[in-house]
A and B are shown apart, each in its own frame.
Chain A
C-alpha cells in the first residue's frame, strides 16, 4: 500500500543513508523523533557553502565575507517565511531547542521573583522542565505542572485552572516526544492570552510534520531544532515576538552582540544580533534553509498525510503483537509510537531490534516524569518521517516476533 499522491520511493532515494545496511540487513530507521536524516540536497548545500562561500559573517568588507553574510541572513529570512514571522528581527539562531529555551529562561526570566509562576505540562521534554526549575530556584518563582491522563492527553481544564494572575509564562510542547500526543496549542495559547500570560511553544517535534504559523498561533515564543527538520545538528531557532524580545536583556556577551564596547560600558546590537554572541553556525543555517526548501517541495501537508497513514497502519500492526502495550493513545497523535513488550525490557528489545536492522529509541526519551506516570522504567519508541514506509513497519513487527522467540 502507499499514500495516494505521495511517492515515498522517490523521497527515500533523496536520503543516501537509507541505502546503507546494518549488519547486512536493510536499515529500518524509525528514530526520526530523535533526529531526522538528511537529504542529499542539504548535504550538498552545506558542502557547497564550505567549498565556495565560507568566511566569518558580519565582519569583513571583502566579497567572501559578504557571500557568507548573505547566505546566513538569507537563511534567517527563509526561517522567517517558514514560520510566517513578521520580521527577521524576531528570528534568533541558537544551538538548538534546548538553548532556545535556556535563552528565554536566562534572559526573559530575569524579571521573575517570589510569587510568580511558570506553567508547564506533565509531558514536557526535560529541555522544557529543567531550565524552568533552575529559573525558579534562583528567582523564588514556582513551577506548576498541568496533569495528563492515562491515554496521554493533557487535562486541558486543569491547565486552564492553573492559569492565574501569578502565572507569567506558560511553556508547553506542541507534540509530545515520548507519547506522540498533539496538544491543542491554539486553545491553550488563547486561554493564556485571556489572562495576559506569555506563551512558549516547544515545536521540536512539530515543525517537520505540520505547517507552523506563529502569527496565527499568536504565541510569544516558538522554539525548534534544525536537525529534527532534516537539517544539520548544532543549530536551532528561537522565534520571539518583537515587542517581547526588544524588552529582554542579552544573555551571552561577546562579539557580534554589541554595538560599542568600552571599559566604561558597552551597548547592545540591534535585534536579533543582541542574542547571538560569537561566530554562529553558518553552514548549519545554510543547511537548515535548504532543508526547509526540501520539505516544502514535498509539501508539508502531503508529508503529514503520509505519516498519519503510517501511524494508523503501525498502530494496528503493533496492537496485534502478543504482549505489546502502546503507551500513549491520545485521540490526536503524530507519527510517534511508544510501547512496551511483556517480559522484555526495552533495552533488550532495542538490542534485538538493532540486530534486525531496526533503529528505534529505547529509554526514557528525556521525559522521566512521563515514564513515572505510566509506571514504566523506559519504553521503546518508533517514529516516522517523510521517508518512512510500510517496509519499515513490517520489519519492526517481524523483529518484535524475533524478540519474543529469544525471550521465549
Chain B
C-alpha cells in the first residue's frame, strides 16, 4: 500500500483548489451533510434545468479525501438527471469499496482517482459524504418549499 495511491495528484489538486466551491444563491434545492464522527461538514446547493442539474456548488470543511471527492463530484454531475446521478453514485460506491482490485470503469473519468480509498476502509465515509448529501438535495428538490429550506443528512 503506497500513500501515493490514496493521495494522487488529482486528489491533492482538488483539495487545494476545490472546483465549484461556494453557494448558489438563489438555488432550487440544498442539503447539509455531516459526519459527526470526524467533524466533516458540507453544504450542497443546486440549480435545475428541468430535470437536469444545471449548476452545483459545495462548501464546507473536511479532510482532503472529502473535499476532493466533493469537488470531483460537482464536475461530474452537471447536466445529469437524478437517475444518472444514482447510477454514477453506485459506480463510485463500488469503486470505493471493491476489494477485488478491478479497475474502475472508464465512464468514471477523473472520479477514478478515488479508487485508492478502497485500501483505507476508515476513509470510505470521507469520500462518500458528498454523494449522500447530493442524494438528499435531489430528493429534497420538488418537495414543498424546497428552495427555501435545506435538507440534511448525517453519516457515521
Please state if B3 and A363 are interface contacts (CB–CB under 8 Å).
no
B contact residues around A362 at 8 Å (CB): 38
Supposing A347-B126, A348-B63 touch, asked if A378 and B7 sit within 8 A by C-beta, the answer is no
Q: Are B62 and A355 in contact (CB under 8 A)?
A: no
Find B37's partner among A355, A363, A408 (CB 8 Å cutoff).
A363
Query: Quick check: is A262 within 8 A (CB to CB) of the other chain?
Result: no
Give A408's nearest chain B residue, CB to CB: B12
Q: List the A side residues contacting B120 at CB < 8 Å.
A: 351
Chain B residues lying within 8 Å of A363, measured Cβ to Cβ, are 37-39
Docked pose: A344 CA to B64 CA in angstroms = 8
* A352 interfacial by beta-carbon distance below 8 Å: yes
Interface size on B, residues (CB 8 A): 20
Contact B3 A406 (CB under 8 A): yes
Tell which of A344, A371, A406, A407 touches B39, judged by Cβ atoms closer than 8 Å. Answer: A371
Residues of B close to A408: CB separation below 8 A:
12
Q: Please name the residue on chain B nearest to A363 by beta carbon.
A: B38
* Residues of B with C-beta under 8 A to A345: 62-64
In the complex the two chains form, is A377's CB within 8 Å of B40's CB? yes
* Minimum Cβ distance to chain A for residue B3 (Å): 5
| In the complex with contacts A347-B123, A355-B3, A406-B7, A378-B64 CB distance below 8 A | no
Q: Is B61 close to A, CB under 8 A?
A: yes
- Name the interface residues of A392-408: CB closer than 8 Å to any CB of B: 406-408
B129 → A minimal CB distance (Å): 12
Whether a CB of chain B sits under 8 angstroms from the CB of A316 is no
- By a CB distance below 8 angstroms, the chain B residues around A368 are 36
Interface residues on A, range: 10 to 19
CB neighbours (8 Å) of A355 from chain B are: 1, 3
Give chain B nearest CB distance to A344 CB in angstroms: 8
- A347-B63, A407-B12 known; A23+B38 contact, CB < 8 A: no
Q: A23-B1, A363-B38 are in contact. Are A348 and B61 (CB under 8 A)?
A: no
Chain B, 64-83, CB within 8 A of any chain A CB: 64-65
Q: Mark each residue of chain A from 331 to 373: 1 if its CB lies under 8 Å from any CB of chain B, else 0.
A: 0000000000000111110011001000000111000100100
- Interchain nearest-CB distance for B127 vs A (Å): 11
Confirm or deny: B92 has a beta carbon within 8 angstroms of a beta carbon on chain A: no
Contact across chains for B37 and A407 when beta carbons are under 8 A apart: no
Complex Cα spacing A377 to B65, Å = 15
Q: Which of A291-307 contact B (CB under 8 A)?
A: none
| A349 to B, closest residue via Cβ | B63
How long is the Cα–Cα vector from A344 to B65 in the complex, in angstroms?
11
With A23-B1, A347-B63, A351-B120 given, is the CB distance from A378 to B39 under 8 Å?
A: yes
B96 sits at the interface (CB 8 A) = no
Decide if B6 is an interface residue (CB 8 Å cutoff).
yes
Q: Is the CB of A348 within 8 A of B1?
A: no
Complex Cα spacing A170 to B36, Å: 28
Taking a contact as CB atoms under 8 Å apart, the answer to whether B39 and A352 are in contact is no
A406 and B2 alpha carbons, distance in the complex (Å): 12
Q: Using an 8 Å CB-CB cutoff, how does the interface string of B1-17 with A read, 1 for contact, 0 for none?
A: 10100110000100000
On chain B, the residues within 8 Å of A348 by CB distance are 7, 63-65
Q: List 15 interface pairs A-B (beta carbons < 8 Å), by A numbering.
A: A23-B1, A345-B62, A345-B64, A351-B3, A352-B3, A352-B7, A363-B39, A364-B38, A368-B36, A377-B61, A378-B38, A406-B3, A407-B7, A407-B12, A407-B64
State the B residues within 8 Å of A (CB): 1, 3, 6-7, 12, 36-41, 61-65, 120, 122-123, 126
